Chain A
Amino acid sequence: MNKIANRVKQIEAMAQKTGFPVYSEGKNPLVRGKIATPRKELQQASPKLVSLEEAIRQSGLKDGMTISFHHHFRSGDKVINMVVDKLAEMGFKHLHLAASSLIDVHEPLIAHIRNGIISRISTSGLRGALGAAISHGLMDEPVIFRSHGGRAAAIANGELHIDVAFLGAPSCDSLGNACGYAQGENVKSICGSLGYAKVDAQYADKVVIITDSLMPYPNTPNSISERDVDFVVEVDSIGDAAKISSGAIRDSKNPRDLLLAQTAAKVVINGGYFQNGFSIQTGTGGASLAVVKFIREKMIEKNIKASFALGGITTHMVKLHEEGLIERLIDVQSFDRGAAESLINNRMHKEVSANEYASALEIGSAVHWLDMVILSALEVDVNFNANVLVGSDGVIRGAIGGHPDTAADAALSIIVCPLLRGRIPCVVDEVTTLITPGTSVDVIVTDYGVAVNPNRPEIAERLKVAHVNVVQIHDLKEKARKIIGDADPLPFGERTVGIVMSRDGSVMDIVRNIKDK
């Protein structure tokens, strides 16, 4: 007869042959017995749902390890300060803080650095008092600066190993399905894409999601899957909702911004890539946003549609998408509320991780398929090198962002900057700090004319035909010098306070400490 009892011998034989154990009721700890609790209640008892302190304890974090954060909450972020305060309270030392970026609100880190809780930092940028303190020599170890694509690649290939990632999320269920917004639910704040955090979630040894809106399971859609999440911590507030996603950035009425934007738009339209199905990325500066307005008019006039817009997405881009001028939006970071809401409402608005966005290691990363990018810069030099990190006073006050990634991979990269900011020259002999090498920068748009990289003579020709005022980069530099005179050298010291990594994992430049006069 065909009964289980009759097949025991054969079951045991096959188990032995295949190396698997024989099934035995209740012995495997991974297979739980019947639980009768209603599932709504059971969710509240999720073993992943713990306090911050418990999550830290259970994560196995030790002194000297690497912790990571994202900057999707911009100046509204409370997560970094909250977690590091807790780590200080718990007595951790010498941690390596690896954030996708750090900004003004992270000023309290200065005290934690002084007290030895944080002894190394990796980031895309530094601003405000923290940047100034580090420039003046706050840390013994130099800060490692990477672009967004460079950071994603370094995490993926193990160069930047994350022990524990602390990732704030506007919504999350008790199993760890986290998202930058919530479909159909009210959450305290939304940030839209969690593109930078997705990399950390995928590669960190332990992942802690910190949320102030605990959702019923399943929280779909999810940016970060429960599969990648070890702990979920519910807190009162992850940040200031108004600052996490601000209203649409107002259109600039500054005549200089408009002049720069208009000129940049001419370069976009006549540079040779403005054709049906083109793709584009723009920044969030006044001039960059105004460029979108001018390009839009031309797209309508010439009946040209873009296949996608990439990058930090803004309300301006969303409007073009909703008008049918841009087919798809690829979004690693939603810059304002309109962009975050579009991610909820528009099917063709896609969230991507920093790897899919800008990693040099991934053939499929979106920047490889980008026709044009419009960037800004603190300064550029006569060899088309660009600096977006260190200010004219020698103080770190910016972020690398996706600058070198997009400039290198786009078919046409355009940097927009005024010739002068007050008495600060923006076209110089040599940039203070090298961030984006000149070989990847094609066109520099200033209010005194447009310079085209000699590597791209065909672009210069096209622009001249279109009556764009094409000038020599050396003439721009001379013009600036004539107006403001010769600058004295900055009083840099001998210590290295920052290391600028190229997106290929090599060292591009270093930043030295600045001395006060």
Chain B
Amino acid sequence: MFIPGNNPGMMQDAHVYAPDSIMLDLEDSVTLEEKDAARLLVYNALQSVDYGEIEMVVRINPLGSPYGHKDVQAAVKAGAHVIRMPKTETAEEVVELEKAIEQIETSLGCVGRTKIMAAIESAQGVMNAFAIATASKRMMGIALGAEDYCANLKTSRSKEGAELLYARQTIVVAARAAGIDALDTVYSDLNDMDSFRAELRLIKQLGFDGKSIINPRQIEIVNEIFAPTQKEIEKACAILAGIKEAQKRGSGVIAVDGKMVDRPVVMRAQRCIDLAIASGIITKEDVYE
């Protein structure tokens, strides 16, 4: 969930809506005059507010701007889990960010703490998606930023999203190939929840791991669409129980309902259960007791 970095009211309680991840934004939602104040606000909030288990992301300004390196410093010092780099076009930019992070982490004695997410927002970025996704061991995900991308393509956004199809598929494939997450762009019309739903169904089908959102009201709908069905959960539980059983017997071969189960199926089952827990359909106790 995107939170403007200069809005303390929203920053203080964004976590009560229980998003998977909160992204405090220093880039587009902050005016040039307020960059310094927002950076301090984000820095102090990250250190003081109890965000619990939520993944905390800071979107920095481009490293080439007068603000980028200061943003990195503030985010790393404050202990953000992830730095989101905007408008990423090449693998070299990721490497530059990695170096900046590493330098600060070295001085703090916490090397390796901060992960990187790259936002791909241009045609060049899409063409380099795989290189970007594999540019650093800190890379945890790549995300599509559709507004800038559409401007770059010389088109505009439509409800159906035909103009984004290539970028979306490229990003999902690149992320999968690199073994990291693929995250979709925001949907900003809060008065059209039906189109938002349709877009969520599309990106889930394309293989995305999640969706960027701009308002807590969107959380429930994302969870609803991404949540596995009861049938899927039951099947997944049976598969995971089968593994446990097999491990007890010391057998590497698992069969559920007489069918052999191989590794991808187990991984999918685990992912289904994780999602079900994240969506609040079941609790950890339901699965692991």
Contacts and interface: CB of A to CB of B under 8 A. Distances in A.
Contact of B16 (A253, A259, A482): A259
B13 A256 contact: yes
A258 B17 CA distance: 10
Given A255-B216, A258-B217, A447 B280 contact: no
Interface string A222-265: 00000000000000000000000000000001011011001000
Closest 6 CB pairs between A and B?
A: A255-B216, A447-B16, A255-B217, A467-B280, A259-B17, A448-B16
B187 to A, nearest CB: 16
Contacts of A448: 16
A428 to B, nearest CB: 18
Contacts of B16: 256, 259, 447-448
Nearest to A484: B12
A476 to B, nearest CB: 12
Contacts of B50: 482-483
A379 B50 CA distance: 23
Contact of B217 (A253, A467, A482): A253
A386 B220 CA distance: 31
Given A447-B13, A447-B16, A255 B283 contact: no
B7 interface: no
Nearest to A468: B280
Contacts of B136: none
Interface of B: 12-13, 16-17, 49-50, 190, 215-217, 220, 280-283
A447 B215 CA distance: 16
A255 B280 contact: no
Interface in A449-497: 467, 482-483
B121 to A, nearest CB: 27
Nearest to A419: B16
A259 B283 contact: no
A95 B283 CA distance: 62
A255 B220 CA distance: 11
Contacts of A420: 13
B21 to A, nearest CB: 17
13 contacts: A255-B17, A255-B217, A256-B13, A256-B16, A258-B216, A259-B216, A262-B220, A447-B13, A447-B16, A448-B16, A467-B281, A467-B282, A483-B49
Contacts of B215: 255
Nearest to A255: B216
B277 to A, nearest CB: 10
Contacts of A255: 17, 215-217
Contacts of B216: 255, 258-259
Contacts of A258: 216-217
A420 B220 CA distance: 23
A132 B13 CA distance: 31
Interface centre among A255, A256, A258, A420 (most CB of B within 10 A): A255
Nearest to B190: A253
A259 B49 CA distance: 20
A255 B19 CA distance: 13
A149 to B, nearest CB: 34
